[in-house]
């Protein structure tokens, strides 16, 4: 039992480490850690199950600081609890280059930071994904191995962002009862009181989405404890609205936006020290309080050891499967299955849309990779993401491997990040490429964190036809290619689609997007190669020695490139065709390889039913480009290709005009 006096001093240790670090850095957000210190102290010192010495213990509770600007809260906790990755020196180096204590918590900087947060609302979405993963793995491996909670601290900003509604409503629907969200209900954001912009009854809002809701004084340790205990017993996810004072203890700035995002300043800090009875020098935590925190850090060692004993006692096959899954390693069966499948494709040479090719590849993959967890944002029949192995998950049955995310692209992408971060599962989604814009902030965070999520993005150009320009991606490939550490694939046929899927699965430390067509395409990789040619990013699909012309293309425009090549060859122009399924992988090849692929043909031309941006890398500033220069239009797709001049004839005319000019 922790006395009230001890609780207060433990919470004050968080407050003053945060105040002092922000002051030293001359930037940061002291208000949230000061206000939420009581909630955090009760949660971490009495309820959260974790072990700082084994921070990646798979059955630990997860804690997500969705209000990432309050990063000093988590850094203070990690230091106080005895995590090796955050030292007092690191706290003093808050926000300095190379320090793990970055401006906002960054996944990978220190154990105990479960996800990167800062863009408000994302953490909440991640946490829903983590809770889904927990439920799913508990169903699969049993509660002896998987039985933990996901806790979130979210601010007013997280709840205001639209993504929160998507996350909340699916969490409520799926009855994720081990998800417990604290709302740091301090009624203040940057511009001033929340009442400037919002009068939502948050409890009613959450209740309407199927949540259990509790309303407490966020500075009363016993009320906080009781709420956590009630939440743990709930059959639904729980929102604990914790009424707090931002900048708690600051004589003038408490309860105002002045405490939100800037150092308190010497005078105010002195006043806060006096008000809270904290006589220590900056960065000094009295030894009895540090001891109390370190003891709290040891609380779950017994639980962790008992869990390890249960794992050791588990049937060998199950234990090995669990350990493999949590390590992120793929099963050995994948490679031979893909090879056999590619052989079959070279025999059958199917003509199908690449979205269908993706489904065919997934049928093979899902048969040998049990950790894939598919889904779609209400476009299952269009995205072709469901296979024979993937029964849908329902609120009462998590034995399935497919999530109907509903029309919630942004939430879906954030939840997928949480599923991947939890471990044990590889989430893949389904959506239209055009609506990658709706997922972009979460895809960017997946890339920043370096995690394996795979986005199936169908209907990838004007080739989708009649739905028209609202649905026809034009700039999306370029925009996604601009995100560092994201692999964007645009495969041309069944074989390339299988290869791109394999690369995406094997890329454990980065996300992938696979852009796929609605319209049918022939299989152009007619000769079987065991080697994954897409792994080069770009490769000679059809070589020609002393090529006068090189055509670069992706996806559906490979068919056009091959037709143009035939016409050019017939006219006496030696022509190569280079398939470019992935810009990013091409950039990672050796200089010699890249030089050879780009080559030195007299004329270089690229064909892609999107904008030119990015293509000059292949064709040079004076290269020819056949693609889009504006939005698409509604109509049958073949007419659209004619209308926008994305045809073999147009390519040949442009090439021959250029050849003529050069003579
Ligand atoms: C998506 C997004 N938009 C804007 C911001 C900038 N921002 C950071 S904190 C904040 C206000 C958040 O208010 P609240 O959640 O109440 O936090 P508190 O003031 O309690 O610290 C804003 C607008 C952000 N981090 N993310």
pLDDT in tens, 362-399: 999 999 999 999 999 999 999 999 999 999 999 999 99
Q: How far apart are CA 344 and CA 358, in angstroms?
A: 15
Render pLDDT for 192-206 as a digit per residue (tens, 0 to 9).
999 999 999 999 999
Identify the residue whose tokens are 């008000």: 275
* Closest atom, ligand 1, to C-alpha of 161: 1
Identify the residue whose tokens are 């509790």: 214
Burial bucket for residue 467 (CB in 10 Å: 0-12, 13-18, 19+): middle
Q: How far apart are CA 559 and CA 556, in angstroms?
A: 6
Q: How far apart are CA 110 and CA 267, in angstroms?
A: 33
Please list every protein residue whose CB sits less than 6 Å from any atom of ligand 1. Answer: 29, 31-32, 67, 69-70, 118-120, 155-158, 161, 184, 186, 188-190, 246, 260
* Closest atom, ligand 1, to C-alpha of 159: 15
Q: How far apart are CA 593 and CA 537, in angstroms?
A: 11
- What is the mean predicted confidence (pLDDT) over 238-248? 98
The predicted structure's pLDDT at residue 59 = 98
pLDDT at 293 over 70: yes
CA of 239 to the centre of ligand 1 (A): 19
What are the Cα distances from residue 255, in Å, to 45, 189, 629? Answer: 26, 10, 52
* Closest atom, ligand 1, to C-alpha of 122: 1
Best of 70, 167, 190, 261 for a ligand 1 pocket test (most atoms within 8 Å of beta carbon)? 190
Split at pLDDT 50, 70, 90, the class of 165 is very high
pLDDT at 279 over 90: yes
pLDDT at 429 over 90: yes
The predicted structure's pLDDT at residue 663 = 63
Q: How far apart are CA 637 and CA 629, in angstroms?
A: 17
Q: How far apart are CA 259 and CA 190, in angstroms?
A: 9
pLDDT at 6 over 80: yes
CA of 514 to the centre of ligand 1 (A): 33
pLDDT at 92 over 70: yes
CA of 192 to the centre of ligand 1 (A): 11
pLDDT at 42 over 70: yes
Render pLDDT for 484-531 as a digit per residue (tens, 0 to 9).
999 999 999 999 999 999 999 999 999 999 999 999 999 999 999 999
What are the Cα distances from residue 107, in Å, to 49, 64, 417, 486? Answer: 19, 11, 11, 17
* Closest atom, ligand 1, to C-alpha of 190: 11
The predicted structure's pLDDT at residue 662 = 73
- What is the mean predicted confidence (pLDDT) over 214-234? 98
Phi, psi for residue 501 in degrees, rounded to 5: -60, -45
Identify the residue whose tokens are 């692929």: 597
Q: How far apart are CA 191 and CA 199, in angstroms?
A: 15
Beta pairing, strands 549-553 & 188-189: unpaired
- For the chain, the average pLDDT equals 98
Best of 120, 122, 253 for a ligand 1 pocket test (most atoms within 8 Å of beta carbon)? 120
Render pLDDT for 571-594 as a digit per residue (tens, 0 to 9).
999 999 999 999 999 999 999 999
Element (H, E) at 526: none
Q: How far apart are CA 621 and CA 618, in angstroms?
A: 9
The closest residue, in CA terms, to atom 23 on ligand 1 is: 190
CA of 122 to the centre of ligand 1 (A): 12
pLDDT at 456 over 70: yes
409 is catalytic: yes
């Amino acid at each position: 039992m922790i006395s009230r006096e001890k609780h207060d001093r433990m919470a004050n240790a968080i407050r003053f480490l945060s105040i002092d670090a922000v002051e030293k850095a001359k930037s940061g957000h002291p208000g949230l850690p000061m206000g939420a210190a009581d909630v955090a102290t009760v949660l971490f010192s009495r309820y959260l199950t974790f072990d700082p010495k084994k921070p990646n213990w798979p059955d630990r509770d997860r804690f997500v600081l969705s209000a990432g600007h309050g990063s000093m809260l988590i850094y203070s906790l990690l230091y106080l609890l005895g995590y090796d990755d955050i030292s007092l020196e690191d706290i003093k180096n808050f926000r300095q280059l190379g320090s793990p204590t970055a401006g906002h918590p960054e996944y990978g900087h220190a154990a105990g930071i479960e996800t990167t947060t800062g863009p408000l609302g994302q953490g909440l979405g991640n946490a829903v994904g983590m809770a889904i993963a927990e439920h799913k793995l508990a169903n699969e491996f049993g509660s002896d191995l998987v039985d933990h909670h996901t806790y979130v601290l979210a601010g007013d900003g997280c709840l205001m962002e639209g993504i929160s509604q998507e996350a909340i409503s699916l969490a409520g629907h799926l009855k994720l009862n081990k998800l417990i969200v604290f709302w740091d209900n301090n009624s203040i954001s940057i511009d001033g009181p929340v009442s400037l912009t919002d009068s939502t009854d948050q409890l009613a809002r959450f209740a309407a989405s199927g949540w259990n809701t509790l309303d407490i004084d966020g500075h009363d340790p016993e009320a906080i404890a009781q709420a956590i205990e009630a939440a743990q017993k709930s059959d639904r996810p729980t929102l604990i609205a914790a009424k707090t004072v931002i900048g708690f203890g600051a004589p003038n700035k408490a309860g105002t936006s002045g405490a939100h995002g800037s150092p308190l300043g010497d005078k105010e800090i002195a006043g806060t020290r006096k008000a809270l009875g904290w006589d220590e020098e900056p960065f000094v935590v009295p030894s009895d309080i540090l001891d109390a925190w370190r003891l709290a850090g040891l609380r779950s060692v017994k639980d962790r050891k008992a869990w390890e004993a249960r794992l050791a006692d588990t049937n060998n096959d199950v234990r090995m499967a669990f350990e493999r899954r949590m390590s992120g390693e793929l099963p050995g069966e994948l490679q031979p299955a893909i090879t056999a499948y590619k052989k079959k494709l070279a025999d059958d040479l199917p003509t199908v849309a690449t979205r269908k090719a993706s489904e065919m590849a997934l049928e093979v993959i899902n048969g040998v990779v049990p950790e894939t967890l598919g889904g779609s944002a209400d476009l299952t029949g269009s995205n072709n993401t469901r296979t024979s192995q993937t029964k849908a998950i329902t609120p009462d049955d998590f034995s399935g491997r497919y999530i109907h995310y509903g029309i919630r692209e942004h939430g879906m992408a954030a939840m997928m990040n949480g599923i991947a971060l939890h471990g044990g599962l590889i989430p893949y989604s389904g959506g239209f490429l055009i609506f990658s814009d709706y997922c972009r902030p979460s895809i960017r965070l997946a890339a920043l964190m370096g995690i394996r999520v795979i986005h199936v993005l169908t209907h990838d150009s004007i080739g989708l036809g009649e739905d028209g320009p609202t649905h026809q991606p034009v700039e999306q490939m370029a925009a996604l290619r601009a995100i560092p550490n994201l692999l964007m694939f645009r495969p041309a046929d069944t074989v390339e689609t299988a290869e791109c899927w394999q690369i995406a699965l094997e890329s454990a430390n980065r996300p992938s997007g696979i852009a796929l067509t609605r319209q049918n395409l022939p299989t152009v990789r007619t000769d079987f190669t065991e080697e994954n040619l897409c792994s080069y990013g770009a490769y000679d699909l059809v070589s020609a020695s002393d090529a006068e012309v090189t055509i670069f293309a992706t996806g559906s425009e490979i068919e056009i490139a091959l037709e143009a090549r035939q016409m050019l060859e017939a006219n006496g122009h030696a022509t190569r065709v280079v398939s470019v399924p992935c810009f990013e992988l091409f950039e990672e090849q050796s200089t010699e390889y890249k030089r050879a692929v780009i080559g030195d043909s007299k004329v270089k031309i690229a064909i892609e039913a999107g904008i030119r941006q990015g293509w000059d890398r292949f064709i040079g500033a004076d290269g020819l480009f056949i693609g889009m220069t504006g939005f698409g239009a509604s109509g049958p797709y073949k007419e659209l290709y004619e209308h926008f001049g994305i045809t073999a004839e147009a390519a040949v005319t442009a090439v021959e005009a250029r050849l003529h000019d050069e003579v």
